[in-house]
Copies of this chain bind each other. A is one copy, B any other.
Amino acid sequence: MCFYTDLMFTQSEENYLKAIFHLEQEGEAGVATSNLSEQLQAKAASVTEMIKKLADKNLVDYQKYYGVRLTENGRKQALNIVRKHRLWELFLAEHLGFKWDEVHEVAEQLEHIKSEKLIDSIDKLLGYPKNDPHGDPIPDKNGNLEKKNKSLLSKCKPGDSGVIIGVKDTSSSFLQYLDKQHIAIGTKFTIQHKEPFDGLLDIDINTKQLKMSHKMAANLYVETNESSS
């Protein structure tokens, strides 16, 4: 029996594996061609074609018309790319002074560099970190991904307090908006009031009172010590 565990993949194949990995987490069902098409900025026909190639290589299980799921090996490969992406993002932030809205684009390129020694050295240099600049967990060398139970700030109730541990939307515009309000990973907060009509929050954050929109709160992951209700 041979699992072809350590072949090399093209950049495009790697991008597909990563995209499937991310979309898979949205549910149990197969990842739809159209979703991949949108994520990868490619036409559906191109996606179908590549999916078939990945299926031939036993990286995905594919049922025509019903989408695709990663195999165990496919997941392992995807996690390796995610690991590289997040380590590079953190390296750029910690060692080269990149802001958290600047790291993603470059990491999209760096994640495809093929050198185990390189990424292990970066890992070591960073002190075997657990999270990237956006709070996302970094898989370890063996593909173990810590699964912290994070909830959305928008789900919190008045009286709840906690810490920002991640962002859902990682677009530059959102990240820059957070910068402007001095909200970052690790920032502590307490919810004072929540408007029933539109979910607008009165929130203590950075020793200031802030009105936070529902949309913003729905893009911030938090860890809470829930208030006893």
Interface residues of A, Cβ cutoff 8 Å to B: 92, 95-98, 102, 105-106, 109-110, 113-115, 117-118, 121-122, 125
Contacts and interface: CB of A to CB of B under 8 A. Distances in A.
Contacts of A105: 115
A105 B115 CA distance: 9
Most buried by B among A92, A113, A114, A118: A118
Q: For the complex formed by this chain, how many copies does it contain in all?
A: 2
Contacts of A102: 117
Contacts of A115: 105-106, 109
Nearest to A102: B117
Nearest to A118: B106
A117 B125 CA distance: 21
Smallest CB-CB A-B distances: 5 pairs: A96-B121, A106-B115, A109-B113, A106-B118, A110-B113
A63 B98 CA distance: 45
Contacts of A92: 118
A211 to B, nearest CB: 35
11 contacts: A92-B118, A96-B121, A96-B125, A97-B121, A102-B117, A106-B113, A106-B115, A106-B117, A109-B113, A109-B114, A110-B113
A97 B124 CA distance: 11
A106 B113 CA distance: 8
A122 B109 CA distance: 16
Contacts of A114: 109
Contacts of A122: 96
Most buried by B among A102, A109, A125: A109
A98 B121 contact: yes
A142 to B, nearest CB: 21
A121 B110 CA distance: 15
A95 B95 CA distance: 11
A33 B91 CA distance: 41
